[in-house]
Amino acid sequence: MGSRASRIAHVVLLSLGICLTLGSVARADLRVVTTTTDLADLARAVGGEHVEVESICKGEQDPHYVQARPSYMVKLSRADLLISVGLDLEVAWLPSLVRGARNPAINPGKPGHLEASRAIKPIEVVGGAVDRSKGDIHPRGNPHYWLDPHNGKAIARLIAARMKQLDPEHGADYEANLERFIGQLDAAIARWQRRMAPLRGKRVVSYHATFNYFIQRFGLQQSGYVESKPGIPPAPAHLAQLIVQMRKERVGTILHEAYHDRGASNLVAKRSGAAVLELPTSVGGARGVSSYIALIDHLVARTARALGGR
User: What's residue 126's pLDDT?
Assistant: 86
- Output DSSP code: residue 36: S
Q: Measuring CA to CA, which residue among 3, 123, 116, 7 is closest to residue 63?
A: 116
Residues 6+ apart with CB under 8 A from 278: 256, 257, 258, 262
Q: Which of the residues in the chain have pLDDT under 70?
A: 1-27, 128-136, 309-310
Nearest to 34 by CA among 69, 79, 89: 79
**Three-state secondary-structure class, residue 33:** strand
Q: Are 28 and 78 in contact (CB under 8 A)?
A: no
What pTM, to 2 d.p., does this model score? 0.89
| Interhelix angle 292-306/171-196, nearest 10 degrees | 10
Residue 243 has a pLDDT of 98
Each residue's pLDDT tens digit, 137-192: 788 899 999 999 999 999 999 999 999 999 999 999 999 999 999 999 999 999 99
Taking only the tens place, the pLDDT of each residue in 6-34 is 453 443 334 444 444 444 445 679 999 99
Q: Which domains does the chain have, with CATH numbers?
A: 26-189 (3.40.50.1980), 192-306 (3.40.50.1980)
Task: Note the pLDDT of residue 187.
Answer: 98
223: Cβ contacts below 8 Å, ≥ 6 apart: 203, 204, 205, 245, 246, 249, 251
- In 215-265, the DSSP E strands lie at 221-225, 253-257
